[in-house]
Amino acid sequence: MDALIVIFLSGLISLFVAFTKKPILVLLTSSIGILAAIGLFIAQWNNPVTLFSYEGLEFTNSAILYSIAVCIFGLFSILVGYNIYSKQPEHTGEYISLMVFSLVGAVCMLAFTDMFMFFLGLEILSIPIYVMAGTKKSDLRSSEASLKYFLMGAFATGVLLFGIAWTYGATGSFKLTEIATAISTASETGQSSILYVGILLILASFLFKVGAAPFHFWSPDVYEGSPNTVTGFMAAVVKLGAFGAFYKIFNVAFPEVHGFWAPAIMVLAVVTMFIGNLSALSQVHFKRLLAYSSITHVGYALLTIITVSSNSEANLWVYLFGYGFSIIALVTIAQLLNDDEDKIDAFKGLAKRSPFLAAVAVLSLLSLAGVPPLIGFFGKYLVFSEAFTQYPILVIVAIANSGIGVYYYLKTIIAIFQKEDVSEEKIEIPSLQVVVLSICALTILVGGLVLSQYKFL
């Protein structure tokens, strides 16, 4: 709770510090705030501190774990975006504090105990991103992304509210635990059909937020149009937040009717994997490729939502944690390549132009493809092996999909090592980027091996 306040205050302070027109101060206040919040989160592991007697937020260990990941990715997004933002000193404060406010929303979304707080968190998370997606003001695609994301997002939020209302009508409560009790008491007499409508509506809006089929159409355009930093932020932070909440609502409030919603997610997971993979095969734009590949990854991650197991939540975390590092590294590299058209061809000859960037890019791509011992493999392995006893066929479909996916990651890797007709120009890497990319590379390389040795939740 106090960590949440610290993040919020650091965002607020950075907003005011921005009046000095010194971008570096904004960067410092926001980073220190987020780092302090991470510290507070770690300190509260196993002994949550409650300020006030407010019950809407509860920082359990799983909420803390997810929040830490969200803070790390938020911090990275701010660090790698700084060079771009600081070119417009009068706007730096807005950009950075919008990101920090969005983080506040993400943390709310991970720690909520009732639907009301969840809705607030979702809106606090989303609204700054609608704005941030349009920050490349000279670029039409950026404005398009912003508008598209806003319209679709607002619509999905409406659907969500509608779903929450129906659920409230069926169970008489906003609190997750009370909803669960109401459902289990009603299970003897038969559930009211109002509840099912509510669950379906909530499910639809979640699928929209995480970008799963058939609600995925916004994501390629939005990913492509947004500035790279924002794309990274969306892929890492928003996914983590949305998935954390997704898992919590469906496995805390609705476990009793698992038999109703699990088959729906099962089918959609398969559809999502195939749509993402098959569309990604022929992409020429790098960020569109990432967008479609992220759709596929959502398909894999959906497996954890339907797997009934005490490990699922931790597995989901490991999966998205690894995914976030890869995606942030890749969008950072794409940003450094500075290709306006954002073609995969821009990666050609990267091995010559900058061995460091090439190494990080290859590691990230291989991690996304699920090559051991990188963190992406362990995430995938944990998700698949946990789901295997319950859904063997589904896991085999998912594994087959990993096979399809390797093609487009490989295409990029081959471009990186290309020697013919490439530019010889070396790439300047600012020191902030070096730090972030090194941390990403290190985590991708050994994170999986280390994380697999512990049991967190």
Partner 1 sequence: MEILLIPSLFALLALFVPGKVVRVFGLVGGLASVILTCVLVCKFQQNGGQAVTFFELAQNNFGFTSKMGYDGIGLFMIILTNVITFIILLSNFNREVAQNKLFTAMLFLMQAALLGVFTSMDGLLFYIFWEISLIPIFIIALSFGGSDRKRTLTKFFIYTFVGSLAMLASLIAIKSYATSFAIEDLMAVELSSKVAFWIFGGFFLAFAIKIPLFPFHTWQPSTYSTAPMAGTMLLSALMLKMALYGMIRWMVPLAPEALNDFQYPIIVLGIIGVVYAGVIAIKQSDMKRLFAFASISHVGLIAAGIIIFDKENLTAALIQMFNHSLVAVGLFLSVDILEKRMGTRKLEELGGVAKLAPKFGFMFAALALASVSVPFTSGFIGEFLLLKGLYSYHWVVGLIAGTTLVLGAVYTLRAYQLSMYGAPKMASFEDLTWNEWLAYFIIMAIIVIVGVCPQMIIDTVGPSIDQLLESYKISNTIIK
The strand pairing partners of 175, in sequence order, are 114
Burial 207-238 (b: 16+ CB within 10 A, else e): bbbbbbbebbebbbbbbbbbbbbbbbbbbbbb
Q: Which two tokens stand for residue 250?
A: 């469906």
Answer for which of 12, 165, 371, 427 binds partner 1 (CB under 8 A) is 371
Q: Which two tokens stand for residue 380?
A: 């995938």
Q: Is 450 in the site for partner 1 (CB under 8 A)?
A: no
Q: Which is nearer to partner 1, 105 or 448 (CB)?
A: 448
Listed residue (274, 270, 271, 277) closest to 292, CA to CA: 277
Residues 6 or more apart in contact with residue 211 via CB below 8 angstroms: 218, 219, 239, 291, 294, 295, 298
| Residues 302-341, mask of contacts with partner 1 (x by CB under 8 A) | ---------x------------------------------
User: Of 58-66, 157-165, 213-221, 386-394, which segment contacts partner 1 by CB under 8 A?
Assistant: 386-394
Q: Which is nearer to partner 1, 101 or 384 (CB)?
A: 384
Answer for which of 384, 394, 436, 440 binds partner 1 (CB under 8 A) is 384
**Burial status of residue 137 (CB atoms within 10 A of its CB: 0-12, 13-18, 19 or more):** exposed
User: Of 75-83, 105-113, 178-186, 406-414, which segment contacts partner 1 by CB under 8 A?
Assistant: 406-414
- 175: helix, strand or coil: strand
Q: Which two tokens stand for residue 88?
A: 């417009």
Q: Which two tokens stand for residue 254?
A: 């609705």
Minimum gap (Å) between residue 12 Cβ and partner 1: 41
Q: Is 402 in the site for partner 1 (CB under 8 A)?
A: yes
Question: How many residues of this chain bind partner 1 (CB under 8 A)?
Answer: 34
Q: Is 455 in the site for partner 1 (CB under 8 A)?
A: yes
User: Of 100-108, 155-163, 214-222, 410-418, which segment contacts partner 1 by CB under 8 A?
Assistant: 410-418
Listed residue (171, 223, 234) closest to 202, CA to CA: 171
The CA distance from 12 to 133, in Å, is 20
User: Of 139-147, 254-262, 285-293, 382-390, which segment contacts partner 1 by CB under 8 A?
Assistant: 382-390
Structure letter (DSSP) for residue 343:
B
Q: Which is nearer to partner 1, 328 or 351 (CB)?
A: 351
CA geometry: angle 142, 147, 152, nearest 5 deg = 125
Q: Is 284 in the site for partner 1 (CB under 8 A)?
A: no
Answer for which of 150, 254, 292, 377 binds partner 1 (CB under 8 A) is 377
Q: Is 407 in the site for partner 1 (CB under 8 A)?
A: yes
Listed residue (149, 401, 409, 399) closest to 289, CA to CA: 409
Minimum gap (Å) between residue 395 Cβ and partner 1: 7
Q: Which is nearer to partner 1, 325 or 384 (CB)?
A: 384
Listed residue (287, 437, 420) closest to 349, CA to CA: 420
Answer for which of 32, 252, 399, 445 binds partner 1 (CB under 8 A) is 399
Q: Is 395 in the site for partner 1 (CB under 8 A)?
A: yes
Answer for which of 38, 68, 351, 375 binds partner 1 (CB under 8 A) is 351
Cβ-contact 68, 35 below 8 angstroms? no
Answer for which of 71, 235, 382, 444 binds partner 1 (CB under 8 A) is 382
Answer for which of 46, 138, 431, 453 binds partner 1 (CB under 8 A) is 453
Q: Is 69 in the site for partner 1 (CB under 8 A)?
A: no
| Chain center to CA of 439 | 18
Cβ-contact 431, 304 below 8 angstroms? no
Cβ-contact 286, 346 below 8 angstroms? yes
Q: Is 292 in the site for partner 1 (CB under 8 A)?
A: no
Q: Is 127 in the site for partner 1 (CB under 8 A)?
A: no
Cβ-contact 94, 134 below 8 angstroms? no
Q: Which is nearer to partner 1, 245 or 382 (CB)?
A: 382
Q: Which residues of this chain interact with partner 1, rule CB under 8 A?
A: 311, 351, 366, 369, 371-373, 377, 381-382, 384-385, 388-389, 392, 395-396, 399-400, 402-403, 406-407, 410-411, 413-414, 417-419, 452-455
